[in-house]
Amino acid sequence: MITPTFHFTILADFLEVMNEQASILVDKLEQHVDKEPFDCFLDITLCALDIICETAMGKNVGAQNNRDSEYVRALYKMSDLIHHRQKSPWLWSNLMYPMFQEGREHTRSLKILTHFTDNVIAEKVCEIKNHTQQKDDFDDNCEQSGPKKRRAFLDMLLNTTDNEGKKLSYMDIREEVDTFMFEGHDTTAAAMNWVIYLLGCHPEAQKKVHRELDEVFGNSDRPVTMDDVKKLRYLECVVKEALRLFPSVPFFARTTSEDCHIRGFKIPKAMEVIVVPYVLHREPEIFPDPEEFRPERFFPENSKGRHPYAYVPFSAGPRNCIGQRFAQMEEKAVLANILRRFWVETSQKREDLGLVAELILRPNKGIWIQLKRRSVCVCHKKKANEDFSS
């Protein structure tokens, strides 16, 4: 029922939001140009949060300009509480949990989040009713003036029906919106941070990205369009390679639907299996020199024949990530805005990242970079695509 809301033509409507929020991020990053190294992780995460708030709910929470808002604080507090509870068996009981201080903090944070979501849904329902009423008051041939109203996932969820015309229940809608909010910003934020870090470590790859960006955008500062997103093929390979090395979701679980054998071991039906992309993506037979950063691995000619489940940053099969195309579009749009303006450097070693596998794979010690303002040099037309032989 929900999959059509992620159709490519619908996603195109969200590019305007992505460009606006990326522009705010770039202006914030300007203050760090030619200065000391700084941790960019939170800045990029707040940008991703603003994007998902506006695209999922149609609500601008202004997290980039007000990181201390009640909703933002509750969202991050809830993430910390969930992760800690997962690791702490003594907190698993729903009966006992409220007796701990963490349980009480969980209740408070949950109340803030659900109250916010409830209000947004109520506003949307009222808005749709008013719009329907106004529509009935006009002749079909009468044009309505005014700017085009932005759609959000919530608008589409409220109108989604199954094959029998049945709509999602209120709780279904609230749970989907909450899922978008949690899964739709941390994961994309982590991916963008890893790309920035890896390009800072590999200047030759960064030069190729800049060459492609210069070819597509020249020296203009215009917003990123859907056509641009399609043309940024080397940047797409960079993002894919970053997610190979540092998958945003470090592990996920599946239940076997039948008995199966893996490398001589029998896995019974109904067994819970943990898949660890961080390890899977380092299989040397499929990805030679697996610790090396090589975006060229994902050139079409190099991907041919590779098993589709050898690379699963978004999981795979019928339970794969429903927001995969949304995430890829956001990552390319935001990164394009950043890298058109700046040259990125870092002296941070991988062993200094302090990798932690929580709800997402993140660097416990942050992503420390330095920025320089770059001048654009538009090369010959054929340069940007020279690495993609047909």
What backbone phi and psi angles, to 5 degrees, belong to 286? -100, -40
> Strands (DSSP E) along the chain, which ranges?
38-39, 252-255, 260-262, 265-267, 272-275, 342-345, 355-357, 361-363, 368-373
| DSSP structure string for 272-299 | EEEE-HHHHTT-TTTSSSTTS--GGGGS
| 3-state class (DSSP) for residue 315 | strand
Tokens describing residue 364? 């416990």
Residue 321 assigned ligand-binding role:
yes
For the chain, the helix, strand and coil percentages under 3-state DSSP, each to the nearest 5: 55, 10, 35
Tokens describing residue 378? 């538009």
Q: Alpha-carbon distance 243 to 314, whole Å?
A: 9
Q: Alpha-carbon distance 170 to 314, whole Å?
A: 27
| 3-state class (DSSP) for residue 167 | strand
**Looking at this protein, which amino acid is placed at residue 22?**
A
Q: Is 321 exposed, middle or buried (0-12, 13-18, 19+ CB in 10 A)?
A: buried
Tokens describing residue 110? 């949950």
Binding positions: 321
Binding positions for heme: 321
